[in-house]
Amino acid sequence: MNNYTSYLQEAITAARIAGHYQKYRSASVLNVEMKGDKDLVTEVDKESERLIVEHLLTCFPDHDIVAEECVYPQKNSPFRWIIDPVDGTTNYAHGFPWFCASIGLEQNGELVAGVIYNPVYDELFTATKGGGAFLNGVRLSVSARTPLKNTLLGTGFPYDCATDPANNFTNFIAFQKSARGIRRAGAAALDLAYVAAGRLDGFWELKLKPWDVAAGVLMIREAGGVVTTFDGSPYSIFTDRIVASNGLIHGEMVTMLESVASGSIE
């Protein structure tokens, strides 16, 4: 038990409420709206967010909320919940069973608690600052695989990859040639949780939002991993370039990303 356990328990409850609703609705016809050419939102995203926010504000009415689908009044609280009600919306809308609810908590700008819940597999990833990271109550540790050629990596592509040159394609090709394999499953929060669990050895992506990464970043750190920007500098959830790893291959990943950026790898 630590000072953040009570917050974590309510976040777990909120994530399970949303996850059970998502699983229940997964077989139904969805009303899909477009936030961009390829960026989807469904009524399940909106209702999941309502369920999570309603529970958290019932428990902690003075806390601030930052979430994907709605803007909430800010109360200048030292505590701020950062919520992605359905990470992997495109997967969800297509019936591809790879999505989750992700809830992170900051205190004075520092990540202190996180929950990522995959309702399809009933896998609950949790972490608290200084308290470790866990999967269904079993402590997590990042992998020990090294070097890069022996590793499995995760990544993703931004919604505007067809029109913006910052599309991650060149990075993908470079890593595909250098690593054992790459997985692009379509839910960044779960990718980060998988790095914490040692199922992936590293992950990189660009143009992610704070709610995509808040919980997962804390989990990786608590599981013994490393998270930085593409150039190896300290990472903030408001930075749009992230590279996360087991630590052992981090230097190789950063070097690869810097080589691609400089044009020395095409």
- List domains and CATH numbers for the chain: 5-139 (3.30.540.10), 148-262 (3.40.190.80)
pLDDT truncated to tens, each residue of the chain (266 aa)? 478 999 999 999 999 999 999 998 886 656 666 655 545 578 899 999 999 999 999 999 999 999 988 899 999 999 999 999 999 999 998 999 999 999 999 999 999 999 999 999 999 999 999 999 999 999 999 999 999 999 999 999 976 667 767 788 899 999 999 999 999 999 999 999 999 999 999 999 999 999 999 999 999 999 999 999 999 999 999 999 999 999 999 999 999 999 999 887 76
* Residues 148, 153, 158, 162, CA torsion sign: positive
Tokens standing for 224?
């013994």
HSE toward the beta carbon, residue 200, CA cutoff 13 A:
26
Residue 115 in contact with residue 15, Cβ under 8 Å? yes
Q: What confidence score (pLDDT) does residue 264 get? A: 78
| Residue whose structure tokens are 């919940």 | 81
Report the predicted TM-score, pTM, of the whole model to 2 decimal places: 0.94
Residue whose entry in the numeric block shows the structure tokens 């379509």 = 186
What is the bridge-based pairing of β-strands 79-87 and 64-67?
parallel
Q: Is 117 exposed, middle or buried, given 0-12, 13-18 or 19+ CB atoms closer than 10 A?
A: buried
pLDDT at residue 212 in the model: 97
Q: How far is CA 119 from the centre of its chain?
A: 15
2 φψ region: left (φ > 0), alpha (ψ -120 to 50), beta (else): beta
For position 191, what pLDDT does the model report?
A: 98
Q: Which two structure tokens, joined as six digits, stand for 95?
A: 């019936």
> Phi-psi category of 161—alpha, beta or left, where left has phi over 0 and alpha has psi -120 to 50?
alpha
Helix, strand, coil percentages, rounded to 5, for the chain: 35, 25, 40
